[in-house]
Amino acid sequence: MEPVTVEAQAALVAAMAATTVAYAAYTVAADAWGRRGATGVVRCGPAVPKVAITFDDGPSPHYTPALLELLDQTGAKASFFLTGRAAAAHPSIVRRIAASGHTVGVHTWRHRHAWLTAPWEVGRDLTRCAAVVGSLTGQVPRWFRPPWGTFNLATLTCPGRLGQRIVLWSVNSEDWRYDATPGHICEQVGAGLGQGAIVLMHDGCPRPGAGDRMLAALPRVIEQCSRAGLQPVTLDEMFEGEA
């Protein structure tokens, strides 16, 4: 077996360096741009006396029906970012969400981190999720939220081609934390409430007890909104009239 030449070693190192740079541009750089400055990524609403409470990772057969009951009782409207896999498994809950007047958005098919998703997978994943959500609600989904709020180059560009706006949040309830309590959730939300706030919560978080903590905190969160003079509305209502 002939020894590896210096030239071959240099070529290998150069190829590895180029691959690393390309991956960093696709993931880390795109993620930083998406979170902090990318045009078209919604982070909060207009300065109007409204707040958008949003729920990720559902629908959950254990928590979403109870959540919908609470919203019905208070008259609050919300927005749900569903994974395609969960939506396909629980179609009646998806139909109920839409029938109750809430906005339904796309949260990818399987909730995979953007840094682990190849560019050719992103379009297929979003298209598949949007097709299921659209067929169950009768409406083409207008909103997309990337799992964990992370980006790659494809998740920055693909949603727009599908007619979806990318939305993050301005208030993180931290209901997903293992050590979160209903009181902590309310403190987190209260500290960030303001006109046009977009609140992140979860009805499908797999961590034990997360859904129970969310349900316990939600009535107080809605009360906080009321005391602040903010009406809980859907994302469609908050951005009504905008292109």
Give catalytic residue positions: 56, 202
Cα distance between residue 23 and residue 219, in whole Å: 44
Say which residues have a Cβ less than 8 Å from residue 195's Cβ, sequence separation at least 6: 45, 46, 47, 48, 49, 50, 230
Contacts with 32 (C-beta within 8 Å, 6 or more apart), sequence order: none
Type of residue found at 176: W
Q: Are 145 and 41 in contact (CB under 8 A)?
A: no
* Phi, psi dihedrals of residue 42, rounded to the nearest 5°: -85, 125
Within 10 angstroms of residue 234's Cβ, the number of other Cβ atoms is 23
The residue written with tokens 């796309």 in the block is 106
CA distance 166 to 177: 24
